[in-house]
Amino acid sequence: MQVTLGVTHADGRCLAQVHGEEEAWLVYRDAYREGDRLQVELSAAGHVRLALDAAMTPALVYLPQGQFSFSIPFDSRRKAYPPHAFQGDLHRLFVAQARPEEVAARRNLALNPWDGSTHDGLGAGAAFPHAFASAETRGEAAFAARTAIDGEKANAGHGHWPFTSWGINRDPDAALTVDFGRLVTVDEVVLYLRADFPHDAWWQAASLSFSNGETQELVLDKTDRGQSFRFPAIITEWVKLHRLIKADDPSPYPALTQIEVWGIEA
């Protein structure tokens, strides 16, 4: 697999670019500016390891179109990322074709700290898994659906990294979907509810639905720990968390810090 890794400006100009066989490194010696994007292109669709900033967690993602585009966050969007990410004038970017044993391993199939904002859209720059929701609190980056799959489990606060969370904007019908972009086999979901008590409330029950039509009913506790739900293996393209039943608590703010979906490739 041929790999191309680059940085482009908002006007489409290529600021830096490297090519490699199966993997590529890029050292970019300049400060990022508004509109700059990180670009990955593969000669074929597949799984890759992304490590595009030293402050961000590397991740194994699937590129069905062999392309990925990430917009450097500025202004209010930065609240959802580590404060030292994308800063300074020296950046190390790395991408590599995933090894077969990495792809085959049982893992958290929902993890993707490089997921784009719901409002950015996917288009030709799609990387999966991808999270989207029917509601997000005030449209703020720190409460976006993507933060529920970014790997950050600190849940004793809210409103900024590392306390990012999916906020439902006080919508009782809110739903979150994790799209895998292909068929996968899943057998466990782990939920980390936001636990900034007493600011936060919590959900006492929820439903998990899958693309094959199956639904699992969940009973939740008031806790800051991960709550694991195991079930017989299901082949699915997506997982939807919905029918969220708020506990009897004076706070109007239940939220989800993280969802993990464990399984293997179908």
What pLDDT shows up at residue 264?
98
Q: Is the pLDDT of residue 119 over 70?
A: no
Q: How confident is residue 116, by pLDDT bands cut at 50, 70 and 90?
A: confident
Q: Is the pLDDT of residue 156 over 90?
A: yes
What is the DSSP secondary structure assignment for residue 128, as one 8-state letter?
A: B
Q: What is the pTM (predicted TM-score) of this model?
A: 0.95
What pLDDT shows up at residue 126?
79
Q: How many CB atoms lie within 10 A of CB 78?
A: 18
Alpha helices in 162-240 (DSSP H): none
- Partners of 20 in beta bridges: 3
- CA dist 73 and 35 (Å) reads 9
What pLDDT shows up at residue 30?
98
CATH architecture for segment(s) 107-265: Sandwich (2.60)
Q: Where in the chain is the domain with CATH 2.60.120.260?
A: 107-265
Please choose, from the candidates 22, 98, 86, 9, the residue with its C-alpha nearest in 3D space to the C-alpha of residue 52.
86
Please choose, from the candidates 111, 116, 104, 108, the residue with its C-alpha nearest in 3D space to the C-alpha of residue 40.
116
Mean predicted confidence (pLDDT) in 120-144: 84
The pLDDT tens digits for 211-250 are 999 999 999 999 999 999 999 999 999 999 999 999 999 9
Q: Is the pLDDT of residue 121 over 60?
A: no
Mean predicted confidence (pLDDT) in 97-120: 88
- CA dist 245 and 254 (Å) reads 10
The pLDDT tens digits for 5-54 are 999 999 999 999 999 999 999 999 999 999 999 999 999 999 999 999 99
What pLDDT shows up at residue 117?
55
